[in-house]
Amino acid sequence: MSSITGFNFNLSFRHLYIQFPAQSRRKIEYGCTCTAVRPVLCSTSSSVSHSDENHVSTSYSRRLMTFMITFLLPLPKSIQLSGADAYAAADDLVLVQEEIRKVLSKSKAAGVLRLVFHDAGTYEMDDDSGGMNGSISFELDRPENKGLKKSLKILVEAKKMVDEKQPVSMADMIAVAGAEAVSLCGGPKIPVRLGRLDSMVPDPEGKLPEETLDASGLKQSFQRKGFSTQELVALSGAHTLGSKGFGNPVIFNNAYYKVLLEKPWLSSAGMTSMVGLPSDRALVDDDECLRWISKYADDQDLFFEDFKNAYIKLVNSGAKWRRDS
pLDDT, mean of each 10-residue run, the chain (325 residues): 40 36 37 40 38 43 46 45 59 94 97 98 95 97 96 97 96 98 98 96 95 95 97 97 92 97 80 79 96 98 98 97 81
Same domain, 88 and 229: no
Same domain, 153 and 239: no
pLDDT at residue number 272 = 57
Same domain, 103 and 190: yes
Domain for residue 14, yes or no?
Answer: no
Domain count, the chain: 2
β partners of residue 321: 196
CATH number (domain holding residue 177) = 1.10.520.10
Domain limits for position 252: 215-310
* Cβ atoms of 20 and 8 closer than 8 Å: no
pLDDT at residue number 192 = 97
At which of 162, 182, 205 does a domain end? 205
Nearest to 226 by CA among 115, 80, 120, 74: 120
Other CB atoms within 10 Å distance of the CB of residue 26:
12
Beta strands in 159-244 (DSSP E): none
**CA distances (Å), 155 to each of 70, 85, 152, in order?**
24, 25, 5
Same domain, 254 and 198: no
Same domain, 112 and 184: yes
> How far apart (Å, rounded) are the C-alpha atoms in residues 260 and 114?
20
Domain for residue 319, yes or no?
Answer: no
Same domain, 141 and 263: no
CA 275 to chain centre: 26
CA angle 209, 199, 164 (to 5 degrees): 120
By annotation, the residues acting in catalysis are 118
Helical segments of 164-211, H only: 170-184
Same domain, 67 and 186: yes
Same domain, 125 and 151: yes
CATH number (domain holding residue 293) = 1.10.420.10
Three-state secondary structure call for residue 221: helix
Domain for residue 316, yes or no?
Answer: no
Nearest to 134 by CA among 162, 103, 110, 168: 168
176 by Cβ neighbours in 10 Å (0-12 / 13-18 / 19+) ranks as buried
What is the phi/psi pair of residue 129, to 5°? -110, 160
Find the Cα–Cα–Cα–Cα dihedral 82, 88, 93, 94, rounded to 10°.
130
Q: What is the DSSP letter of 269?
A: S
Nearest to 292 by CA among 230, 215, 248, 246: 230
Domain for residue 276, yes or no?
Answer: yes
Three-state secondary structure call for residue 196: strand
Same domain, 148 and 229: no
Same domain, 77 and 193: yes
Same domain, 243 and 191: no
What is the phi/psi pair of residue 191, to 5°? -75, 135
> How far apart (Å, rounded) are the C-alpha atoms in residues 277 and 258?
15
pLDDT at residue number 267 = 78
Same domain, 43 and 186: yes
At which of 205, 227, 254 does a domain end? 205
Domain for residue 274, yes or no?
Answer: yes
At which of 185, 205, 225 does a domain end? 205
pLDDT at residue number 90 = 80
Residue partners of 216: CB distance under 8 A and separation at least 6 = 286
* Cβ atoms of 208 and 184 closer than 8 Å: no
Domain for residue 320, yes or no?
Answer: no
Three-state secondary structure call for residue 10: helix
> How far apart (Å, rounded) are the C-alpha atoms in residues 178 and 300?
19
pLDDT at residue number 228 = 98
